[in-house]
């Protein structure tokens, strides 16, 4: 990190802080997948919506929102009741395309795992399940490893933390960051200062341009390097840097 650390001069630090404040606003919500979990108030509903929304969150943003709108229209105002009542059973053994590389069967598998956690094992929340696995999480990698282990062989969820784990890092940002502007902050499994930057193509491109990393592979090593650099800018709220890079990048901008 010593090479990239020197790239962050005061001008770039000021720019990143300015961009973060520009995009971390309520107006960001309506055109982002985070709008779906933001529409609920009950913890289980938020968790389920957030997991499904982050799972879908790759590719074209408009198509992501269209797919999530369709899925959420089946929930009848309660994702938890949808899971509890096994309303997803209609997708069992259905290999029709749901979204890009996902089939309806993949979605069924995800929902069935959630049903087992909430209704078979009897956990009141996904957070409670993760707390039962470890009373204290030493860092985000530890939390990601346990979260991944809940969904073995699930398409769209990585099987280890060697990859960037973008969608899971996004899920943790949504559920752990505490300012309650865009993110929901309903989990207390980690301090928000320990979150990792969700690394998508926009964030990776701009992170390289501004000098937060000089790596060429979007993997977990790169995530941690960018995150460490962002701690200079946002020491107590490192994932706030995601708004600066993602918001700026998705608008089609370059540094």
Tell me the three-class secondary structure of 96-154, residue by residue.
CEEECCEEHHHHHHHHHHHHHHHHHCCCCCHHHHHHHHCCCCCCHHHHHHHHHHCCCCC
Question: Domain boundary residue among 155, 170, 195?
Answer: 195
Q: Is the pLDDT of residue 1 over 80?
A: no
Mark whether 121 and 233 lie in a shared domain: no
What's this model's pTM, rounded to 2 decimal places? 0.95
Grouping H, G, I as helix, E, B as strand and the rest as coil, residue 159 is coil
Q: Is the pLDDT of residue 118 over 70?
A: yes
Mark whether 97 and 137 lie in a shared domain: yes
Q: Is the pLDDT of residue 140 over 80?
A: yes
83, 119 in Cβ contact below 8 A?
A: yes
Q: Are strands 102-103 and 97-99 parallel, antiparallel or unpaired?
A: antiparallel
Per the listing, tokens 């009542």 go with: 85
254 band by pLDDT with thresholds 50, 70 and 90: low
119 band by pLDDT with thresholds 50, 70 and 90: very high
Give me 155's structure tokens.
Answer: 């398409």
Q: Which of 11, 103, 88 is nearest to 56 (CA)?
A: 103
pLDDT of residue 202: 87
Question: Helices (H) and strands (E) in the chain — how many of each?
Answer: 12, 2
150 band by pLDDT with thresholds 50, 70 and 90: very high
Q: What integer is the mean pLDDT of 22-45?
A: 97
247 band by pLDDT with thresholds 50, 70 and 90: confident
Q: Is the pLDDT of residue 231 over 70?
A: yes
Q: Is the pLDDT of residue 46 over 90?
A: yes
Host domain of residue 234: 1-28+197-255
Question: Domain boundary residue among 195, 223, 240?
Answer: 195
Q: Is the pLDDT of residue 2 over 50?
A: no
pLDDT of residue 255: 63
222 band by pLDDT with thresholds 50, 70 and 90: very high
Mark whether 175 and 233 lie in a shared domain: no
pLDDT of residue 251: 64
Give me 236's structure tokens.
Answer: 């107590």
Could you tell me which residues are beta bridge partners of residue 163?
219
185, 172 in Cβ contact below 8 A?
A: no
Mark whether 70 and 150 lie in a shared domain: yes
Could you tell me which residues are beta bridge partners of residue 102?
99
Mark whether 201 and 84 lie in a shared domain: no
């Amino acid at each position: 990190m010593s090479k990239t650390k020197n790239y962050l001069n005061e001008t770039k630090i000021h720019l990143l802080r300015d961009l973060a404040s520009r995009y971390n606003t309520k107006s960001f919500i309506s055109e982002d997948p985070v709008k779906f979990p933001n529409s609920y108030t009950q913890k289980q509903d938020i968790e389920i919506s957030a997991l499904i929304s982050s799972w879908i969150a790759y590719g074209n943003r408009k198509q992501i929102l269209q797919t999530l709108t369709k899925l959420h229209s089946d929930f009848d105002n309660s994702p938890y009741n949808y899971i509890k009542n096994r309303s997803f059973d209609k997708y069992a053994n259905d290999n029709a395309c749901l979204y890009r590389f996902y089939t309806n069967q993949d979605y069924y598998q995800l929902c069935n795992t959630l049903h087992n956690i909430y209704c078979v094992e009897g956990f009141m929340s996904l957070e409670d399940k993760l707390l039962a696995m470890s009373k204290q999480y030493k860092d985000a990698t530890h939390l990601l490893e346990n979260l991944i282990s809940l969904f073995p062989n699930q398409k769209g969820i990585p099987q280890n933390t060697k990859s960037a784990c973008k969608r899971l890092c996004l899920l943790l940002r949504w559920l752990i960051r505490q300012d309650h502007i865009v993110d929901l902050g309903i989990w207390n499994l980690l301090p928000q200062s320990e979150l990792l930057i969700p690394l998508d193509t926009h964030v990776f491109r701009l992170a390289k341009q501004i000098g937060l990393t000089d790596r060429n592979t979007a993997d977990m090593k790169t995530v941690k390097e960018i995150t460490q650099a962002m701690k200079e800018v946002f020491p107590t709220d490192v994932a706030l840097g995601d708004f600066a890079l993602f918001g700026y990048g998705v608008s089609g901008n370059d540094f």
